[in-house]
Amino acid sequence: MKTISLLFLLIFLASIGYSQSPEIIQQNAMKKMEWLVGEWKGTAWTQMGPQNRDTVEMHESIVLELNGTILKIKGTGYHFNKEGNKEVAHDAFAVVSYDVANQKYRWQSWRVPGGYFTEHEPEVGENSFSWIMETPQGKMKYKLQLNNKGQWHETGHFSRDGENWFPFFEMVLNKQ
């Protein structure tokens, strides 16, 4: 009788470990990114050549959706034209999710101007995540992290050969 009870207990305990639904697994994975949720504002610069640095006012709106299983990111950057009027310089939308079957995060983003779509597998850490993307010109790597001042700090580096990296982007945002 003790053997049957012990066997039943072991089967029950083992089944608990495997009984989490995909939604629960996704929710738990997405908790690593909850620090991003909210409204963020600040500035960013991009530089695609020695003389072409552009600074923009940035606004990022981050929301957990679908019962905490996806992170929705909406980013808009504004600069001022020669007449002093504010115009949209950067308009992007991204979704971050967790793929239960493959046990990895997915980053999908869309950006205008240009109509770009990208899909990546970011590395998610403690208050940080990063991703690398291939372009016809070379590789771009981005790192986003919560700095010691509680700010969203994101950097972008470019490399033609995968060994020598040059900064081309930096953004610092404060949570509103």
The pLDDT tens digits of the residues spanning 104-128 come to 999 999 998 777 899 999 999 999 9
State yes or no: cis peptide before 122, omega within 30 of 0: no
Domain 22-175 in CATH 1.10.1020.10? The answer is no
The domain limits of the chain are 22-175
CA–CA distance, 141 with 49 (Å, rounded to integer) = 17
- Position 171 confidence tier, pLDDT thresholds 50, 70, 90: very high
38-47 and 166-175 as β-strands: parallel, antiparallel, unpaired?
A: antiparallel
- Position 13 confidence tier, pLDDT thresholds 50, 70, 90: very low
pLDDT at 18: 54
DSSP string, the chain: -HHHHHHHHHHHHHHHHH---HHHHHHHHHGGGGGG-EEEEEEEEEESSTT-EEEEEEEEEEEEETTTTEEEEEEEEEEE-TTS-EEEEEEEEEEEEEETTTTEEEEEEEEETTTEEEEE--EEETTEEEEEEEETTEEEEEEEEE-TTS-EEEEEEEESSSSS-EEEEEEEEEE-
Residue 131 backbone dihedrals phi, psi, to 5 degrees: -155, 160
Share of the chain above pLDDT 70, in %: 89
> Is residue 174 pLDDT above 70, yes or no?
yes
- 25-57 pLDDT, tens digit per residue, is 999 999 999 999 999 999 999 997 777 888 999
Task: Identify whether the C-beta of residue 171 lies closer than 8 Å to the C-beta of residue 43.
Answer: yes
